[in-house]
Amino acid sequence: MNPGGPGSPQRSLKGRALQWLAQREHSRSELRRKLLRHAQKVANGDDGPDAAGVDALLDWLEAHRYLSQERFAESRVHARAARYGNLRIRQELAQHQVALSPAAEQGLKDSELARARSVWARRFDAAATTPNERARQARFLTGRGFSAEVVRRVLREAATMPSGDDSEPGSH
């Protein structure tokens, strides 16, 4: 940590913020929470973290394009799309107080069925043969954030696949 002196906690916060942003994209709310926690440790029992100073630093980071909500959303979608459905991705972004652009939203919507098929194929060897197994597969896909309609379509396609077919549902 930087030794005491005028402005050293602010420089420390800025350096910490840039270090975190160099590692991966962060949402403004996530970075604010981390910076406030760090500022509190640096303050060591003084008046506590300076929320106004942290907000000013976040404004500076956004103005200089080090921090971008759009880049964060794109990064999170890219990291999560292969494993999760639209509902889960939207919920995670909402926790970070970030919304998808209309184009990204449409892209996710257009690819949800194919992503659900892929997730189903990685997890299950064969289509459900009993109602309990079908319910288990549906719960799995629903828990991953896929919509009920997409889950129904994937399970219906899986049930109509010829047995012994190693391809994903709907890819024949």
Instruction: Report domain extents, the chain.
Output: 8-67, 70-160
Closest CA to 125 of 115, 113, 136: 136
What value does the mean pLDDT of the chain take?
87
User: Residue 172: pLDDT band by 50, 70, 90 thresholds?
Assistant: very low
Task: Report the share of the chain in percent with pLDDT over 70.
Answer: 83
Annotation: CATH topology of 8-67 = Arc Repressor Mutant, subunit A (1.10.10)
**Could you report the per-residue pLDDT of 43-94, keeping only the tens digit for each?**
665 555 588 889 999 999 999 999 999 999 999 999 999 999 999 999 999 9
Asked whether 133 and 123 are in contact (CB, 8 A), the reply is: no
In whole angstroms, give the CA distance from residue 172 to residue 169. Answer: 7
Enter the pTM of the model.
0.78
Tell me: pLDDT of 171 over 90: no
pLDDT higher than threshold 50 for residue 1: no
